[in-house]
Structure 1
């Protein structure tokens, strides 16, 4: 296998990771209403699913970066896959014990694996090839994350979000009978996660037997001093903040959609799950469209305009009623599609020896997905209207627009402004 073929094969393997963690993340919006019902939770309590997942990103991102610097990207990817698989298998005892806390622990372990994978795969995809097309390459790889967003909800609602008994029947049961009925429903999570765990073990074995091209020469210069040294790059600091708010917005929109859509438009939860798949399709199409547009439009400009459009769509999601609110959220998903990889690529642009730590810091900022949906939940519970929760994504898109307008510019404490945004298109 020549160097070009080796690079293409490596990129294909890396791209499969984007699909796998996208599939896991997009089962969470199905888990939230499922566990909310099984454990009789408020919206705020149900968002602990997101808190458990995205807290892991904050806690594990720096160790993941250190792992990558010490052992390399391949070892990091295999470690991440094994953590991911272990968390999937923990869903079996969690369901057997009918314990919400055990479910949260299993999700935390999954997210530890996802943190390691994302810390490795995002920068690897960015630098594996021509550096001038890093943002386009990362958007393409992230498109398969969008494919997972389209498939996971449609599959998940049919395998997980099934009701053996109606709410009226549950209310008429004794406490013991109700507990048994809900325990039976909780068991529906076992099969999808067992299958996913087995697939992950297989992918880990494939990575173990594959020689990945080294990118150390492309990403390393003089050894980075420490994680705080990376913050001398102003655009990285901006990228960390922007990614915090972006992930908070994305998780709020996707994870709470099956709770939001029935309230705003009157559709059923199963129908909401199907519309969530359409959101995933919009997200996927948006990735491909955005990647194509970046051949003509600077990434930072596209990012800013997409954020502004989403500000308008958030107003529709807050104040309108009926099916138009669902269509507005589908539009938000389309215009969110390029934000994560574009913020990531702009944030780590020209970091040199600080690339691994810069990548870890941006991955740490994913903790926004643990914090901001909780605020969404508090607003929804306090007002009694889940639509008002969209105030949170509205504020997030303001920050993202500012990053695309000005914050992306490459500056360090000792450097003069020298960034030409067309250099990554």
Structure 2
């Protein structure tokens, strides 16, 4: 990582120099645009799944290969991304991530032209690899760009704009993509569905990524350097995974992303069930916007509440709320089943921005490595939906919803006990 432009006085590990404080606002504003795009792009997967499921006549398990390729990239790329960011710095790491993500978005054009499911999966993997690098760089950057006490509130505020992208993506995706599906897709020959409907949206996304990358390259972001801790002449040789609260936080991120994606990816199909709402793909896709919208509201509210209440206790409270809402949906029909599951988005709202800084707390020079490990756990968004799809194929969508319940129970425990810091050995 590049050194600061001047010699700075010693400061606690994981905090920025006081002289850089005046640039925090502009830096946070620049990074916040990234969170919006992540939310938008990631939520488009929830639109792609029913769309490609109809085109290629896929089972739930096969359709969830979309999540496997997208979130599987986090598992393969996160640790190398952490080392990359440690070497080139936060800003250059983000710029590299933008370039790779744009390439992945542009690859959707030939994938649609060739009409091959495998090419779609490959394009998603490249796109997700770029986003992984962005995540590894930007999340810890926001967490340490200011006082540690307000890290959760700061990350929650930026994540609120991520939720804005999640809210808008289903509206745009339903209008541009799902509108090309007939009401009864199963009764239509697959090759009659226009697969090119995904070309223009992803070309636009790729171009937007490059534009924002250029704008970010022109902004002078503060450079943050961590201290190497030395006690009685002995240099600290611990590694990130020696910190118990980080390791348990990795499991927490796995559980949260797995639960959120498993639910979000199947909302369209769940709302289409006759005993839920019996909606068409387009109508159901439009309802998905409330899932992200609830998370957005929760994050804006959370940015305030996290300055008033303990982040770990709020995390546990939201996890309990998520469990109750999912169980209500499983055991009800009609609008109650629909709205109770959409309301889980409100409970999801603060989970990522609270688990992430709780897990990184006190890591100092291990922050980038810890961020890489946490982002690796996003593979939960690949594995949990696959397991969810398998259970849904065997026992139905309602029974599959019990899997997110288990995830939320663990998150409750992490907030109450697992997030407590224990000194590394």
* Shift in CA distance, 87/405, structure 1 to aligned 2, threshold 3 Å: same
Q: Match of 1:216?
A: 225
Q: Match of 1:285?
A: 297
Q: TM-score, normalised by structure 2?
A: 0.91
Deviation of the 1:131 alpha carbon? 2.1
**Deviation readout 1:77-108 (Å, 9 max, x if unpaired):** 00000011000000000000001100000000
More off after superposition, 23-32 vs 157-166 = 157-166
Q: 1:167 & 1:268 partners in 2: Cα distance? A: 8
Q: Match of 1:67?
A: 84
Matched, 1:238 2:238: no
Q: Match of 2:413?
A: 402
Q: Match of 1:10?
A: 27
What does 1:410-421 correspond to in 2, within 5 Å? 410-414=421-425
Indicate if the aligned counterparts of 2:316 and 2:416 stay in contact, CA closer than 8 A. yes
Q: Match of 2:286?
A: 274
What does 1:123-162 correspond to in 2, within 5 Å? 123-162=140-179
Task: Please list every run of 5 or more consecutive structure 2 residues that lacks an aligned counterpart in the other structure.
Answer: 1-18
Matched, 1:58 2:70: no
* Shift in CA distance, 312/170, structure 1 to aligned 2, threshold 3 Å: closer
Select the residue among 185, 209, 227 that pairs with 1:200. Answer: 209
Deviation of the 1:169 alpha carbon? 9.1
**Deviation readout 1:54-79 (Å, 9 max, x if unpaired):** 11000000111000111111110000
Q: 1:370 & 1:253 partners in 2: Cα distance? A: 12
Q: 2:236 & 2:127 partners in 1: Cα distance? A: 29
Q: Match of 2:368?
A: 356
Task: Please list every run of 5 or more consecutive structure 1 residues that lacks an aligned counterpart in the other structure.
Answer: 415-425
Q: Match of 2:15?
A: none
What does 1:13-412 correspond to in 2, within 5 Å? 13-163=30-180, 165=182, 167=184, 170-171=187-188, 178-179=190-191, 181-182=192-193, 185-217=194-226, 221=229, 229-263=239-273, 264-383=276-395, 385-412=396-423
Q: 2:23 & 2:202 partners in 1: Cα distance? A: 32
Indicate if the aligned counterparts of 1:224 and 1:354 stay in contact, CA closer than 8 A. no
Q: 1:164 & 1:147 partners in 2: Cα distance? A: 25
Deviation of the 1:4 alpha carbon? 4.6
Indicate if the aligned counterparts of 1:220 and 1:355 stay in contact, CA closer than 8 A. no
Q: 1:401 & 1:166 partners in 2: Cα distance? A: 40
Q: 2:236 & 2:269 partners in 1: Cα distance? A: 45
* Shift in CA distance, 353/5, structure 1 to aligned 2, threshold 3 Å: closer
Indicate if the aligned counterparts of 1:224 and 1:353 stay in contact, CA closer than 8 A. no
What is the SS of the residue equivalent to 2:57?
coil
Deviation of the 1:297 alpha carbon? 1.4
Q: 2:146 & 2:228 partners in 1: Cα distance? A: 15
**Deviation readout 1:129-154 (Å, 9 max, x if unpaired):** 22221111010011100111110101
Q: 1:4 & 1:70 partners in 2: Cα distance? A: 24
Deviation of the 1:163 alpha carbon? 2.9
Over the residues paired in the alignment, what is the CA RMSD in angstroms?
Answer: 1.7
Q: Which has the higher helix share?
A: 1
Q: 1:220 & 1:280 partners in 2: Cα distance? A: 40
Deviation of the 1:7 alpha carbon? 2.3
Q: 1:344 & 1:407 partners in 2: Cα distance? A: 13
* Shift in CA distance, 164/28, structure 1 to aligned 2, threshold 3 Å: closer
Indicate if the aligned counterparts of 2:50 and 2:268 stay in contact, CA closer than 8 A. yes
More off after superposition, 87-96 vs 295-304 = 295-304
Deviation of the 1:209 alpha carbon? 2.1
Q: TM-score, normalised by structure 1?
A: 0.91
Indicate if the aligned counterparts of 2:183 and 2:280 stay in contact, CA closer than 8 A. no
Q: Match of 1:417?
A: none
